[in-house]
Structure 1
Amino acid sequence: MSKLVTLCALFCLIMSEKVIGQTVKACHIIGNIKGLGNQTVTFFYEQQGIQRRDTVRAVNDHFSYLAKPSDDGIINLQLIPQRFSTIWYEPGTITVAGTMSNAGHLTALGTLENQVSTEHNQQVEWQFEQRMQAHPDSMQALEAQNRKATLAFIKAHPKARTSAWLLGWQMRYDATPIEQYEQLQHLLSPDVQASLQGTDAAKRLTILKNQPIVGRKAPDFTMPDTAGVAVSLSRFRGQYVVLDFWGHWCGPCIKAIPHLKRLQTQYASQVQVIGIGMEAADDKQIWQQTIRKQQIPWLQLSDLKGDKGVIEQYNINAFPTYLLLDQQGIVVERTSDLAVLEQKLKTLSPKP
């Protein structure tokens, strides 16, 4: 009997090792970066909601790193400050190559997703950067060209999570018709749609469909003010309201404050200005200090959720952004230009 138990235990151990061997496969990143020498290479990733960082020391332009799984399957490699290269966490060996003289243009090959991502960089993104450097005065036309090329790339690679990731970013910043985004979302394979990047893209599509644009009612919200008192947007129904989406970290927002002060004074009897701070929880103190330093007189609110919460719900991607709501809470203007807002305010009624 004891021999039978021992054999069963041994069998289970062997099978468990096989299962573990099948499910936990290593992601090995090796690099050959000309000019890197013996410098440090840094890898950023998120695990269980916590931002983590690993470093390895290169030897004669080469490095080796056994990557750890990340929440979103993405690892950001950094060779120089403020420049990152995205690497997908995939089982197998990923070879990163490039030069320090062009450290932002690294190729990552050896696995399917990294191959697709590198193809996008080479065929679309890096070409856009080169054209922008050569023709900085043609930014609008080049951005439209880049947007068209990216959407075509997504359509051509429906089985890649890279496509869902790109689609999510396109929906954040580009003004492509929602119907075109919907078509691309439906073209993604079922596996990609079910991935984290796929579900994020679907969420972004829903946000786009429901965002408060001109002609739509602004969704109600409740957020704490600087003293922690909860304030609801519906409280101001019956008045014109300017929602000023800003942040203490935003230079253009700070620069616009004197102009907005003049407008607030001029239209004080007609319009309620409300500041909505795009701030993280640990920015609360500096947010409040900035309000005092700039002597901002109007109501200030923030849910302290960074780019989530109301900021995400309203699809605010540019700062500052101003929304003018009528007495029924309908958006009558949405702009990042105070001059445009001022012209709209002039149409409300004669100057006081």
Structure 2
Amino acid sequence: MKAVVFDEFGSPRKVLRVEERPLPEPGPGQVRVQMVLSPIHNHDLMIVTGHYGFKPELPHVPGTEALGIVEKLGEGVTRLDTGQRVTGGGSATWAEYYLADAASLVPVPASVDDATACQLVSMPLSAWRLLGELQVARGDWIVQNAANGAVGKVIARLAAERGIRVLNIVRREAAVAELAAEGIGDAVSSEHADWQERARAITGGAPIRRALDSVAGRASDELMDLVADEGWLISFGALSGRPVQINADNLLFKRATVKGFWAAKPSTFHTPEQIRAALVEFVQKAGRGEFKLPIADVFPLERAAEAAAASNVAGRAGKIALEGRLG
């Protein structure tokens, strides 16, 4: 089978290649899945560059989420059938076939499009878990940057269901219109010199209790400027490639708290049963057409390096994905 591989950490454009590998054999509790579509997430690329929270042994096949077809069952697997369409987390998903724990996979009905189905775990579940850890109530305000990203959009939708108000910060005025077209309001573009004043006008002076920072660098302090006394800033990413920068005054005089969130760590706020129920709910919503996650472009495995470069282009209308289906 064909698989994307890297032998050294570095720029995905330089180190990703495709090689022939033997079909993996499922062990007890595992299944072999024929990959249909696998999205490229920021954390996937960080793993390739060696800047993620862990470094895999090399050579390594990247990819952490996919939509696929169950092709072979391992010993003891009874809740899935061969030929079944499934989504879920896994490892080494940037290949024609990959292994996954049967317990981590969720069956997906035909009513869910491939683009949405291949993204129903990583980003939505991170957003769901993060909202649960914010400890905010109906009517409270939170603020997030990179609001037009996959996680940002899911947070805005889930928060709306819970009555939580979200101030959405983006970098382009066009992104404000893009969010509005998807039913997401209360957005402001930081390209305007007075964007913080515009943001405060949206909240009407109500206190903003939490800030979700996916950018880092100076953007962290800009969010903290908006946070109320004793508020939190949660670091969720570093799209700027820079360290979190926060003025000491914002920390000291607001008695603010800075926390990190990493979805790869087991949740201490939610049980495995609650997490699985959330995944099933995502699938059900997608099946009813209430939940869509777009894919901007699809590349074959042989063009993985090119796909990785495309995933770094700003203003995309969705994720970049790799296609693995044979034929």
- The bucket for the TM-score relative to the shorter chain is under 0.3
Which one has more relative contact order, counting CA pairs under 8 Å at least 6 apart?
A: 2
Q: Say which structure is richer in helix.
A: 1
Normalising by the residue count of structure 1, what TM-score does the alignment of the two structures yield? 0.23
